[in-house]
Amino acid sequence: MTSASQQATTPATRAAVASRPKHRREHRPVLGALALLEAVRLARHPVLLAATGIGVLLTVQVLTDNSTQVSTDALGLPLVATSVGLGSMLAAFYLTRSFHRADEIVEASPTSTTARTGALCLTAVVPALVASVWFVLYYGARPAKVDAPEWMYGMFSHADIAAVLVGHSVISAVGATLLGVAAGRWWSFRGASAVLLLAVDAWTVGVLGFFSSGDDAPPEWFRWVRLLVPFGYFSSTTADNSSVVSLTGSPRWYAVWLLTLCALAVVAALLWRSEGATRRRVVRVGAVMLALSVLAYGLAVGGGLSHVVRTFPDGHSVVLVTR
């Protein structure tokens, strides 16, 4: 025999348990619908469209260049990060800020702020798909203009070069979009988009400019700080393509480090106006990702080549002990 209190609580308990999975099943379609809606808006954003157009023009210029030299883009692919990457960052920032202007309307919806931010983060799939076209072109189709001879890969394997190209194309596009969402959530002052663009440029160009010359920085600085940018390089080809320098570090672990930066950008975005248990979960995930980021960066810097190596067209290599 069950007591009256047990009879009263049992149906309620069963109803609560039954409602949980139903709630989760209903939450996912809503998030997917929001993500699809925002992805379409991002794909149509004039800033992203203009940046993609610029990237296409630069690619055509590379492929139709009359020079007989192989383009160094075959080893670096910087144009995707500087066109689609920056364009998606600004487009995502403006898209996120447009949400703030409609706060009075969206706050009345049953969808939480965290879910709406998550939907904005999922729009990163759009620039990722666009950047994937460049990766397939440069590393899959490999047109003659960007198909570097084997010696130009230096001490790195094709898998290492592929990791660099993925980092400079797909991961850069994803990370830039997520950074734009995070900045859009937290920054509301006038001129925030310009500050964001200048900060990313200063971060990248400043570090790369200072460490581009082997004689201007101590060896330990060159090794540990050179990769502390969202756009790193591992090969340096002379202007006349007479030799290629393979730099220290692990391209594969560097790509992993870039992925952890993407995850940290998501965490930063989701922390905006998150509360209670949701905020605690986001903070815990952020702490784990921060630890993984530090580990991945350490492996990127400490792994791979321990010395800089110069490779010549005939295949022989010389170790440069200064790095």
**Does 10 have pLDDT greater than 50?**
no
Cβ(11)–Cβ(4) below 8 Å: no
Domain coordinates in residue numbering, the chain: 16-320
DSSP 304: B
pLDDT-based confidence at residue 110 (cuts at 50, 70, 90): low
pTM here is 0.82
Residue 299's pLDDT is what?
94
Q: Which residue has the higher pLDDT, 87 or 18?
A: 87
H or E stretch at 55 = helix 46-63
Report the mean per-residue pLDDT for the chain.
Answer: 79
Query: What digits encode the pLDDT tens for the residues 259-299?
Result: 999 999 999 999 998 888 989 999 999 999 999 999 999 99
Cβ(84)–Cβ(173) below 8 Å: yes
Query: 16-25, 50-59, 141-150: which range is least confident on average?
Result: 16-25
Residue 188's pLDDT is what?
86
Residue 219's pLDDT is what?
61
- 209, burial (CB in 10 Å: exposed 0-12, middle 13-18, buried 19+): exposed
Query: What digits encode the pLDDT tens for the residues 120-179?
Result: 999 999 999 999 998 888 777 777 666 777 888 888 888 888 888 899 889 999 999 999
Query: What digits encode the pLDDT tens for the residues 225-260?
Result: 888 888 877 887 777 777 888 888 899 999 999 999
Give the number of other CB atoms < 10 A from CB of residue 304: 20
Query: What digits encode the pLDDT tens for the residues 177-196?
Result: 999 999 999 998 888 999 99
Dihedral class, residue 264 (left if φ above 0, else alpha if ψ from -120 to 50, else beta): alpha
